[in-house]
A and B are shown apart, each in its own frame.
Chain A
Amino acid sequence: MKDQGLYLSEFERDNCGAGFICNLHGEKSNTIIHNALEILVKLEHRGAISSDGKTGDGAGILIDIPHEFFNRVCEFALPAPKEYAVGMVFLPKSLNQYKMCAEIFETQLIRQGLVILGWRKVPVDTSNLGEIAAKTEPRIHQIFIGKKTAELTEFEFKAKLFAARKITEHLIEKSKLAERNFFYVSSFSTTTIIYKGLLIPEDIGRYYTDLKESDVVTRLALVHQRFSTNTFPSWELAQPFRYMCHNGEINTLRGNVNRMRTREELMKSDLFGDDINELFPIIFDGKSDSASMDMVVELLVMTGRPLPEVMMMMVPEAWEKDTTMSPEKRAFYEYNSCIMEPWDGPASVPFTDGNYIGALLDRNGLRPSRYTVTKDGYVIMSSEIGVIEVAPENVVKHGRLEPGKMFLVDMNAGRIIEDQEIKDEIVFKHPYKDWVSQHTLPLSKVPYTNNQCPIEITDYKTRLRLFGYTTEDIATIITPMVVNAKEAIGSMGYDAPLAVLSDEPQLLYNYFKQLFAQVTNPPLDGIREEIITDISLAIGEDRNIFDSIPEQAKKLRIQNPVISNEDLKKIKNIDHPDFKAISIPMLYEVEKGMNGLEKALEDIIAKAEAAYNQVNIIILSDRGVDQKNAPIPALLACSYLHHALNKKGKRSKFGIVIETAEAREPHHFATLIGYGASAVNPYLANEIIRTLVKENVITGIETEVAVQNFNKAIGKGILKIMNKIGISTLHSYRGSQIFEILGLKKSFASKYFPYTPSRIGGIGLYVLEKDIIKRHEKAFSVSEINQTLQLPTGGDFRWRRNGEKHQFNPTTVSKLQQAVRTKNKQSYQVYADTINEQNKSFMTLRGLFEFDNLNPISIDEVEPWTEIVKRFKTGAMSYGSISQEAHENLAIAMNRIGGKSNSGEGGENPNRFTKQANGDWKNSAIKQVASGRFGVSSHYLTSAKEIQIKMAQGAKPGEGGQLPGEKVLPWIAEVRNSTPYVGLISPPPHHDIYSIEDLAQLIFDLKNANREARINVKLVSKVGVGTIAAGVVKAKADVILISGYDGGTGASPLTSLKHTGLPWELGIAEAQQTLVLNNLRERVVLECDGQLKTGRDVAIAALLGAEEFGFATAPLVASGCIMMRACHLNTCPVGIATQDPELRKNFKGKPEHVINFMYFVAEELRQIMAQLGFRTIKEMIGQVHKINAKEAISHYKVKGIDVSAILYQPKCEGSAALHNTKKQEHHLDNVLDMKIKNDAIAAIQNKTQTTLNYSIKNTDRAVGAITSNEISKIHGKEGLPENTLQLNFKGSAGQSFGAFTTKGITMTVEGETNDYLGKGLSGGKIIIKKPKKADFLAEENIITGNVSFYGGISGEAYINGIAGERFAVRNSGVITVVEGVGDHGCEYMTGGKVVILGKTGRNFAAGMSGGIAYIYDKDKNFTENSCNTEMVDLDELTSDDRSELKQLIENHQKYTDSALATKLLANWQNEIQHFVKVFPKDYKKALVRLQKEKELAQKTA
């Protein structure tokens, strides 16, 4: 799909299901192919189908070359196996172009000295192709290539094949042939061949008739199917690729691609000789992340590294902080980190070269990979278990791939090689330890120098002004970082103008918006999962990637990219044979103006070029500003140096260090590093800190500690920014430029910030320079006037007259309150005019619009306000973030007018679910499901009209939240199903959504939990949100909410409020355009929110495509909020954002106030509708031609803005709907649970004891949710009496088994289960046990997948085997026994009991604030290595604990027949000694406090 409007194809995303099957005995068969394809069919719920209902997003299979078969069918003779290669080639449809491509390919093959044995047309059956697939179907041929001479080794043969193919690809790409895109070589190997296409899995076998031939046999089969966010995927992007396939997403792609290009400068190889230059670029532009990764894997294999080593290089384990790792392995990783940065992002990568087949999981372990080894010699690996039916007695082992680990099958030796064995062989190949210790220079080892810091001639205050500092910067941004070593927190939304609309001179950083992960990949938690993150970097020159030589390790290693003045001095004056630095000033002469600036930038490049090969560190410095010289924005200089030298092929030999006065916020540092810097010295921020300490503004901290604190805080801030987009290491974040530009001219952006999207244009160098001059002039002249403030006060976050404009200001707040309290139309008009006028005076993008194509009708013809407000909603604000009074007030108001209020993520008291006697209803129509899952029970979900999955929040997308224990008051805890005074953490990701297919699963789960409720997915506006929305529609959301970046929050780091996400105008327009383009718009309702304040705002949103509208800040203001921005401090004086009982008394809001606000907005909207000629909102949706860009734009910055992309109406064939016309088809009629629900009707309705038996498959998902929903409807929170309904299953249960299962249900599985077992368990009992016939040891085998009991509320579970990663994550009350768990067990747990009778993985109890875990730790390994003790104590068991534990293990034995339990109980007196109690510190304190409160209550009673 080509770029148009706001749609950019580069943001297409995919996720998928993958797997392989192979035979250890080397037995080839055709059955393997069918079994492998069966895997895909069984994973079909992880894929997606396009709007034509037929075309899949692509699937494929990789198998051994079927030599016998080819021998039979080819019209030419073939040499022995491995002596020839087969290419699977996609070619143009048109005959002449096809011939040309074939000819070019042949020529190149011949040029490499190879022999063309012949071509074979691949027979295909097109009868099953979907309409979309048929349009792009290529001609498919196989080419057979032989060696000319027998001396050619296999490796050399492969190299020649590689070179010929690569050169051909480049030639055809450059040929300008109309159908050049059809040319693609799926596979070209001597061992393997790939059959793939734009097909749904079951059609692969039908389409490629070869696969049905009985002599097409193989030992191995690797299969893959895509779930693409858009519906125009292409044939060649189907997977597997030549060496691998990939499930996940590479977030660092841009940086990886840039770095690869840089490496090409230095590549030399005897293997390719001069041809090497024709292979470049190794990575083709515009290919998917997985395709790009495969191209690099292929190259690295050509350097002679074995495939497993290549995989280790590209996707390293989290070695940096792992103290248990062997020194050799750490050295291997450290050495390779000098050569290759991690390809970071969630990744499960099955790979094969025909000799080895294996898979690798990235350091985070966010993708599921389960395997089974059978007695008859098969290894089956896949995202889910149960995809191929294996009799229990045939199982040797059930395993899973662990984070950072590799699983490898040696096909020739016929055995599985364990992770350690593979890696040991690799890490001992070279003396990496010596290489690193001899060559890598840690900065800490460089001696301090006595050289003085340059002394600035310009006075301190003048420099502060010159670099745009305000008192607010110092007090609100810098000081908290110095004092707390953490970023400052703020609240409410950001309502000041975008940088490009501001009248104030802006720093360049402000035009860059951070991107963040949502849906297609997860954000990370660098605080709780610190062990997998790293912000150290290696600086210095790169070397030829083909060489595995010690010199590769000649790098300077720094631990934090924020460096002190002393560290910079060390680098500047480094005296070491391997390192040399130069300083290049970033200054230009003010009087020379823009030309001077432009020339100065070129001078920097020239100076850097002149230093090529002489230095390996370039320091860009803006020191030395004076009346004559102004600073060049550091980001501009840095990015230009990075890119210009990249273009010139001279980037690889130096690292960039920035010495700048500008940088003060984490965002500044992140952008600098994102555009190529390796270290930043914020010398003026340091000077400020020193002054603050000297002047006693900051007390109790030594100067050096103060500076360190600041550096630490920035480091953490950078980590957080990386984590938002799902990146773990700074190494791969560097140069990855994961930003969108908002407000820079395209030509400017493409010169200085290439590859960064800038969709609405804006200012260029001219205006940028004008702003610098403005600051410069002011800086030097202000001090002339006595009694003026030496620094401006600011006003960015807190309104000030001379600061930034804010939409909510004294006049608008007070007028709105006046209007709604007295129902005063005039006051509303003043409010609305002021807001709308502010829009016009350019605070928002919508301010740039005006209505056009008017067609006035009488206002009486327009639908009444009472109809309109049914489309209105109030925003998601949790009970806890706001008070009960404020929360219920909104609910009552919205229920009265038929709109919808939103519970927010804090649960809701069940007493609100029923109507009050007076007819009012406090039930929030929308129930939110956020990552913390607080209070998300079957009953809660059952009470919803709409269930909203919060993927991201406008104020802080990609971040989690935290409710400190102090705020978890008993009444809050009750609603959130947690313990009073125990802190609650909302993780950054939903731990059951790491990718789009996971979201589809959660939607499915929730739909099961409440079939009447619409499922709403909340996204935040960013570039690419349209493609994400398309994917979400395919994942079957009923409603998609696009939130603006400026929405409110109860607490967020200040810099997130401002720098992450985009205005909704861009998001809603992009979503609308993309959905219309993909013909998906009709299937979903689009909603919009983010500082909607007036009828005009709503009108614009509707015309851009929204059909429902959310308001949050404005209704709060109507309820009395005065924008104190103290929500995070619990001191809200008007009783809204506080739990303080005294302050809550001040709440004066009434439902009428909220209703009046909605009324006024609707009435204003009706006026506009009458002007435009719309009778209903429905008619209005998506009618962008009614909006025009304002003509009279005279603002100096705004002139360059081009909003036409926002106002673009995609041209589509036929009449694609512009609004929702159809319901999503959820296919719930045939699910197993429906049957259970019917079979169990007596139990559900009359509490009759019932036992039912079923067999179960992995495609039976979310079993238990529907039945529980039915029970909740009738019996509410109480459910049924224990064990009323007993359900017994045999087989492999699908994902989310037991989700939201309520009280009274007992579910037993004999077999195994997949991910998300017992998600949101609401009182039910779950028993998973090893099949009776199986003879493996339960305690050594995996029985259930990842993320079990996520958000579990209550109930019990007994698991007769090992569970995967993140067991009992955010559990609040489930009691469970399990025989072993993976990494991050009991993460964020706040309640419940967990007994683990076996091993745990790393980082156990991270963020665990409540509940208790008992660990059987016989080897004493847990205490030493596995537990994250930041929040927990490891205690001895009390006698009460012992008896409780014994009871639980007895239950376990009773329910599951666990052999392990039996063994432990048999020797209880001894075994009990080996148990450790994990007791959260918070919880301990809370118990003491609760006890005291209880005693006090008893005394006073």
Chain B
Amino acid sequence: MGQIGGFKTYKRQDEGNKAVNKRVKNYNEFTIPLEKEKQQDQGSRCMDCGIPFCHSGCPLGNLIPDFNDMVNKGEWKKALEILHATNNFPEFTGRLCPAPCEQACVLGIIDEPVSIEEIEKSIIDRGFKEGWVVPQPPKTRTGKTIAVVGSGPAGLAAAQQLNRAGHTVTVMERDDEIGGLLRYGIPNFKLEKEIIDRRVDILEAEGISFKTNTNVGVNYAVSELDKFDAVVLCGGATIRRSLPVKGIDNKGVVQAMDFLTQKTKQLFNKKIEGELITAKDKNVIVIGGGDTGSDCVGTSNRHGAKSVTNFEIMPKPPIERSEKTPWPFWPLQLKTTSSHEEGCDRNWLINTKEFVTNDKGELIALKTIEVEWVLKTGERPQLVEKPNSEKTWDCDLVLLALGFTGADQTISSQMGLEVDQRTNYVANESYQTNNPKVFTAGDMRRGQSLIVWAISEGREAARCVDLFLMGSSNLPTKGQGDLISE
């Protein structure tokens, strides 16, 4: 496959980004793709390993060496077939995935890994551009009906797979548009919403029904689900973590998701609930150093914030991979996103103690303390505050990007489904809840995770549902072989 020794000939080359001062002026995607030939050359860097660790590191089991080879040969359409065989929505993962595959890439041991994610993105974007992505409705229908609750990546993947197997699928979404977190939780400059729309169009054309504004257990009775032969719950992990400190309920302290959702809805002229949150001319502090935090940084800068500061309670990760997280495992490593590049002050090992308001009740500052993590063998690391390290930070807006603690319990309580300590919905290895015809997948089952895991869960769950309904299934599975870190 590919070119022998291509990795010695070509260095890694990533797609470009538009200049910071240009891109922060709007909410559009700002990448500049490589030319076709250059992208093909990047494919030749793949070494066609005897053990493709990338293929293991990818929760979807993407056939990475196989599509890399096709790209290298200029066989884009074949590459797309291979990619689509394991991934329903490469346009999402190609943009948003943190790419554990690249961390597992063998070339990464000695050089920059193969730009797998960009190759993936270029394949699917080319596919759409060339009109290769067309609806492929099933040849026959089984007559079985299935409800998929939630239209995030897990729900959509499950729906598409089940529809391919010939079942009649209805997807229910509590929000006004399809896409779950992708729709409003991810800023438009990371994922332009047309990308979701064009995919949803395909799904609809393949025969999937979508019901928006349908919040099961709220405005749609769970008993209605009984008429379906099976139900797949993909409601995500939506309960947001908060901070149990003084002043948390203050007006200027906002959950990141509210901030991000509002902005995107605003962009698309949607009705906005509650007061308008703006970062314009404000000193913004984003608490939480993860991807959502980063999205908040990018969005704040686009609002026109005066300053953006980012807090993270964990220590600053090393720039290089640490010995504790050796290749091919996911490394604890400093990640600088495009949003960070757009301007922000990052602080680590810092904990918020209090939000300070002025007499008007407006947020003016927050107080922090520096912390340390004390490691004792056999015990969980302990957070210890550093004496005399208190500090007060002036600010006008605080965005809480602290992650999610678990799934909404509305459905579980009404349907009598088991949940675990972390409030995740419990399912057996077949994604089946304690109600045999009810299945669950994605963040709702595994807790907050990556899009790639959501799609993977949706696909695997679909196969299990098909097996449950039909006794056998021709739907594909990713098989064994997820990289086990412990």
Contact = CB atoms under 8 A, between A and B. Distances in A.
B356 interface: no
A1126 B63 contact: no
A808 B7 CA distance: 24
Interface string B298-332: 00000000000000000000000001001111000
B53 A1122 contact: yes
A786 B164 contact: yes
A1429 B481 CA distance: 52
Nearest to A1121: B50
Contacts of A484: none
A802 B164 contact: no
A784 B142 CA distance: 12
A1131 B164 contact: no
B50 A781 contact: no
B81 interface: yes
Name, among A789, A810, A821, A1122, the residue most crowded by chain B CB atoms within 10 Å (CB to CB): A810
A750 interface: no
Contacts of B111: 1133
Contacts of B328: 810, 814
B109 A793 contact: no
A1025 to B, nearest CB: 29
B476 A798 contact: no
A785 B160 CA distance: 11
Given A785-B164, A800-B63, A806 B475 contact: no
B7 A787 contact: no
A475 interface: yes
A814 B483 contact: yes
A503 to B, nearest CB: 10
A1122 B109 CA distance: 10
Name, among A787, A789, A799, the residue most crowded by chain B CB atoms within 10 Å (CB to CB): A787
Nearest to B82: A789
A1080 to B, nearest CB: 40
Interface in B102-152: 104, 106-107, 109-111, 136, 138-140
Contact of B57 (A784, A799, A810): A810
A505 to B, nearest CB: 15
Contact of B47 (A786, A806, A1133): A1133
Given A810-B328, A814-B329, A818-B326, A1123 B140 contact: no
B106 A1124 contact: yes
Interface string A1338-1353: 0000000000000000
A1129 interface: yes
B33 interface: no
A96 interface: no
B106 A785 contact: no
B478 interface: yes
A635 interface: no
Contacts of A1129: 4-5
A1134 interface: yes
A471 interface: yes
Interface in B37-86: 47-53, 55-57, 61, 63, 65-66, 81-82, 84-85
A798 B477 contact: no
A1142 interface: yes
A1055 to B, nearest CB: 17
B471 interface: no
A789 B140 CA distance: 19
Contacts of A1122: 49-51, 53, 106, 109
Given A814-B326, A1146-B109, A802 B49 contact: no
B274 interface: no
Contacts of B481: 799, 801, 809-810
Contacts of B32: none
Contacts of B476: 785, 788-789, 802
Contacts of A1133: 7, 47, 106-107, 109-111
Nearest to B480: A801
A813 B85 contact: no
Nearest to B49: A1124
Interface in B431-486: 474-481, 483-484, 486
B329 A798 contact: no
A1370 interface: no
B110 A802 contact: no
Interface in B158-176: 164-166
A644 to B, nearest CB: 37
B50 A1125 contact: yes
Contacts of B329: 814
Interface residues of A, number: 48
B470 to A, nearest CB: 11
Interface size class of B (residues with CB under 8 A): 35 or more
Contact of B8 (A798, A1125, A1134, A1142): A1142
A198 to B, nearest CB: 53
B20 interface: no
Contact of A1131 (B5, B478, B483): B5
Given A786-B164, A810-B51, A801 B474 contact: no
Contact of A817 (B63, B84, B326): B326
A813 B106 CA distance: 12
B415 interface: no
Contacts of B475: 785, 788
A810 B139 contact: no
Contacts of A785: 164-165, 474-476
A822 interface: yes
Contacts of A1124: 47, 49-51, 106
B1 interface: yes
A1003 to B, nearest CB: 37
Nearest to B329: A814
Contacts of B84: 787
Interface in B258-277: none
Name, among B65, B66, B323, B477, the residue most crowded by chain A CB atoms within 10 Å (CB to CB): B66
A809 B51 contact: yes
B50 A1123 contact: yes
Name, among A785, A811, A817, A821, the residue most crowded by chain B CB atoms within 10 Å (CB to CB): A785
Given A784-B474, A787-B85, A810 B104 contact: yes
Given A810-B104, A1131-B5, A821 B326 contact: yes
B85 A1126 contact: no
A813 B51 CA distance: 9
A1131 B4 contact: yes
Given A1131-B4, A1133-B109, A788 B85 contact: yes
B76 to A, nearest CB: 14
A809 B57 CA distance: 12
A793 B47 contact: no
A687 B357 CA distance: 78
A799 B51 contact: yes
A517 interface: no
Nearest to B62: A801
Interface in B318-352: 323, 326-329
* Shortest 8 CB-CB contacts between residues of A and residues of B: A1125-B50, A810-B56, A786-B136, A801-B479, A801-B481, A802-B479, A1123-B50, A801-B61
21 contacts: A784-B139, A789-B81, A789-B476, A798-B51, A799-B51, A800-B63, A801-B480, A802-B61, A809-B481, A814-B327, A821-B323, A1122-B106, A1123-B50, A1124-B47, A1124-B49, A1125-B50, A1129-B4, A1133-B47, A1133-B106, A1133-B110, A1140-B8
Interface of B: 1, 4-5, 7-8, 47-53, 55-57, 61, 63, 65-66, 81-82, 84-85, 88, 104, 106-107, 109-111, 136, 138-140, 164-166, 323, 326-329, 474-481, 483-484, 486
Interface of A: 471, 475, 492, 778, 781-782, 784-789, 793, 797-802, 805-806, 808-811, 813-815, 817-818, 821-822, 830, 834, 1122-1126, 1129-1131, 1133-1134, 1140, 1142-1143, 1146
Given A810-B328, A1126-B4, A1129-B5, 13 more contacts: A781-B474, A784-B474, A786-B138, A789-B82, A800-B55, A801-B61, A802-B476, A809-B481, A811-B484, A814-B326, A1124-B50, A1124-B51, A1133-B106
